[in-house]
């Protein structure tokens, strides 16, 4: 059988998953008889809710007798580890670029990885039905970006398609639009080289992804580099440390549309799944029993942000979660490291773990997943990971692109400059302005919420790790202190009403609080201890109903990301399946002084 292996790469929100949906729907109509739901590839609950792809996944379609394996990748740089390992499985890629936005920071990141591996991209200008679409200009910008990234002449001679992936259309010629993806399929067959395979050589496959099944145990996913393997055959698993384990392939699978198909044998060139290889890690090689030979291990960019995870120790610990001990936490983090390649975990003390990842979003997705599984955990503020380069302490710096309405641009530029940002480019686009900055990663902690309120929700920002630069010095990103509860018990509307001119509350009346819990943000610098558990004293003269019409300002509801962005050095976020609370590390006010 003939194969083509392609990855779909793009900046977040440029339409990768929607394009895969369209490809699946159209080939299924050609006779695979399976219903494809919206964004079918985003199978994880969090992906569906947020509309982003977190995990790279693969599917396959048949077109004119050729099996095309398609890998959908994340656009967020925080999940860059997913992109890096996946590109090793493919021979070509579709680079999706929004017809209005043009190449964005993450386009640069994924494209650089693809060009380094020698892949020849097919450029798909998507969303050409947008009112502000500028397809010709976007193609030129993409060409300039490739040239800047050091593409070869072959790579720069890329074919171009124009698409409206939501409507299932892609075509070569803007003047002559088509109603389906036939041009895209033809282009993949013509421009994406078939994998170079040697069926008769000893079996060899690199593990690029892991899955787990209740019945089959661990399933390893990857592309067969050479040879073939049958059901029940013994193979060698070659570990990163150079040791080998003899193990048996209990069941090989191939992919078609949204299904995994059981087969008796898989061979070189196909992206397959093998059950039975229990202690495999990502980046290891499954090889022939008699003639084992290891493939190069996948390298992934180092983490840039870390947080300290601990079991919950607040007065409410253990009331809401199922897994509350440090042993539970340790086991869960060990399990996560097996599949999440760009995550690192080290034990600082028996009940404290330093978890390092590619960014705040990367770590907050892990926390949200754990919370839904029933874990209780408390975490400290995110910290950047510094390195010493040539004797100078250096910190991670981001390339930030913001797109804002003109009237807000000066305010945003002022705030970013005060956070040690350096403007590198500014270009007006109609009544909006696109500004590019180089800015320390830590300066962006807590900026998104402020940015949205500064631009009245109309600003768009995206950023990408740009390298390590010398430490930029002291940075103050939070101006205000916290309102901290000095009593235990339920909060009362009466006391919140009396205190609401002091700051903004995060809790409603009737919320159970404890001493040292953060109940709001102070309107000034420094923390303030407040008593929200005081109710009105009643006498014969002052009746309970005399002033029932207390109007409380609605509290500010913090999401997990907001909470992680808000907390200071001496504060923690307490995360349970039912609540996200903020607290001081030292609960007792007199000891805190």
Numbered residues of the known binding site for GTP: 13-18, 126-129
Element (H, E) at 190: helix 182-191
Contact 258, 42 (CB under 8 A): no
Length of the chain as a residue count: 593
Which residue in the block uniquely carries the two structure tokens 């992934």?
A: 300
**Binding site residue list:** 13-18, 126-129
- Residue for token digits 């903004």? 504
CA distance 566 to 587: 18
> How far is Cα 447 from Cα 436, in angstroms, rounded to an integer?
15
| Contact present, 97 and 124 (Cβ < 8 Å) | yes
What is the maximum span of the chain, computed from C-alpha positions, in angstroms? 97
Q: Sign of the CA dihedral 589, 591, 592, 593? A: positive
Pairing outcome for strands 92-98 and 2-10: parallel
Q: What is the C-alpha separation between 518 and 585, in angstroms, rounded?
A: 11
Q: What CA–CA distance (Å, rounded) separates 274 from 276?
A: 7
Bridge partners (DSSP) listed for residue 234: 248
For 334, 386, 577, the CA distances from 347, given in Å and listed in that order, are 11, 19, 24
Between CA 530 and CA 527 the distance in angstroms is 10
Q: Residue 125 is encoded by which pair of tokens? A: 């200008």
Query: What is the dihedral sign for C-alpha 558, 564, 569, 571?
Result: positive
Q: Which residues pair with 307 in a beta bridge?
A: 355
The Cα 31–Cα 185 span in angstroms is 16
How, if at all, do strands 352-357 and 305-311 pair? antiparallel
Tokens 């209740």 correspond to 214
Between the CA of residue 88 and those of 196, 222, 233, what are the distances in Å? Answer: 14, 9, 25
């Amino acid at each position: 059988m003939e194969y083509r292996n392609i990855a779909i790469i793009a900046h977040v929100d440029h339409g990768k998953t929607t394009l895969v949906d369209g490809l699946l729907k159209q080939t299924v109509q050609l006779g695979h008889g399976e219903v494809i739901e919206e964004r079918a590839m985003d199978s994880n609950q969090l992906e569906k809710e947020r509309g982003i792809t977190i995990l790279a996944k693969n599917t396959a379609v048949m077109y004119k007798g050729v099996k095309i394996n398609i890998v959908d990748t994340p656009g967020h740089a925080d999940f860059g580890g997913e992109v890096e390992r996946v590109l090793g499985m493919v021979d070509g890629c579709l680079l999706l670029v929004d017809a209005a936005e043009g190449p964005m920071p993450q386009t640069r990141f994924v494209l650089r990885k693809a060009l380094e591996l020698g892949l020849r991209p097919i450029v798909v200008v998507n969303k050409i039905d947008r009112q502000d679409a500028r397809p010709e200009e976007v193609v030129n910008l993409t060409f300039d970006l490739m040239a800047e990234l050091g593409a070869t002449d072959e790579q720069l001679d890329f074919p171009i398609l124009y698409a409206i992936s939501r409507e299932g259309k892609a075509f070569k010629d803007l003047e002559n639009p088509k109603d389906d993806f036939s041009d895209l399929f033809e282009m993949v067959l013509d421009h994406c080289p078939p994998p170079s395979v040697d069926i008769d050589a000893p079996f060899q496959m690199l593990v690029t992804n892991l899955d787990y099944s209740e019945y089959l145990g661990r399933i390893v996913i990857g592309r067969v580099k050479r040879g073939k393997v049958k059901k029940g055959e013994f193979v060698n698993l070659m570990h990163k440390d150079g040791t080998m384990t003899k193990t048996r392939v209990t069941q090989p699978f191939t992919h078609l549309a949204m299904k995994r198909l059981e087969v008796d044998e898989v061979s070189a060139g196909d992206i397959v799944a093998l059950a039975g290889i229990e202690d495999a890690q990502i980046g290891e090689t499954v090889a022939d029993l008699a003639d084992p030979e290891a493939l190069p291990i996948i390298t992934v960019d180092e983490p840039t942000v870390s947080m300290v995870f601990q079991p919950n120790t607040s007065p409410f610990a253990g009331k809401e979660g199922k897994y509350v001990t440090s042993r539970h936490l340790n086991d869960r983090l060990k399990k996560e490291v097996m599949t999440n390649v760009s995550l690192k975990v080290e034990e600082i003390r028996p009940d404290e773990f330093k978890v390092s990842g590619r960014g705040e979003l990367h770590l907050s997705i892990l926390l949200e997943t754990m919370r839904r599984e029933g874990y209780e955990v408390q975490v400290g503020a995110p910290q950047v990971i510094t390195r010493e380069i040539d004797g100078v302490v250096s910190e991670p710096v981001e390339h930030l692109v913001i797109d804002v309405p003109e009237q807000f641009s000066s305010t945003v530029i002022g705030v970013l400059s005060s956070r040690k940002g350096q403007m590198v480019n500014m270009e007006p686009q109609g009544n909006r302005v696109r500004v590019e900055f180089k800015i320390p990663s830590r300066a962006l902690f807590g900026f998104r919420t402020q940015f949205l309120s500064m631009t009245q929700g109309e600003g768009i920002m995206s950023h990408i790790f740009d390298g390590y630069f010398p430490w930029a010095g002291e940075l103050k990103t939070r101006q205000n202190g916290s309102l901290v509860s000095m009593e235990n018990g339920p909060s009362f509307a009466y006391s919140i009403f009396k205190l609401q001119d002091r700051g903004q509350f995060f809790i409603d009346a009737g919320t159970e609080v404890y001493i040292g819990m953060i109940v709001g943000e102070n309107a000034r610098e420094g923390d303030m201890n407040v008593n929200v558990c005081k109710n009105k004293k009643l006498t014969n003269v002052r009746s309970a109903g005399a002033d029932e019409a207390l109007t409380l300002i609605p509290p500010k509801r913090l999401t997990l990301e907001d909470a992680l962005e808000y907390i200071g050095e001496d504060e923690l976020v307490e995360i349970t399946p039912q609540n996200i609370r903020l607290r001081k590390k030292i609960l007792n006010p007199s000891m805190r002084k």
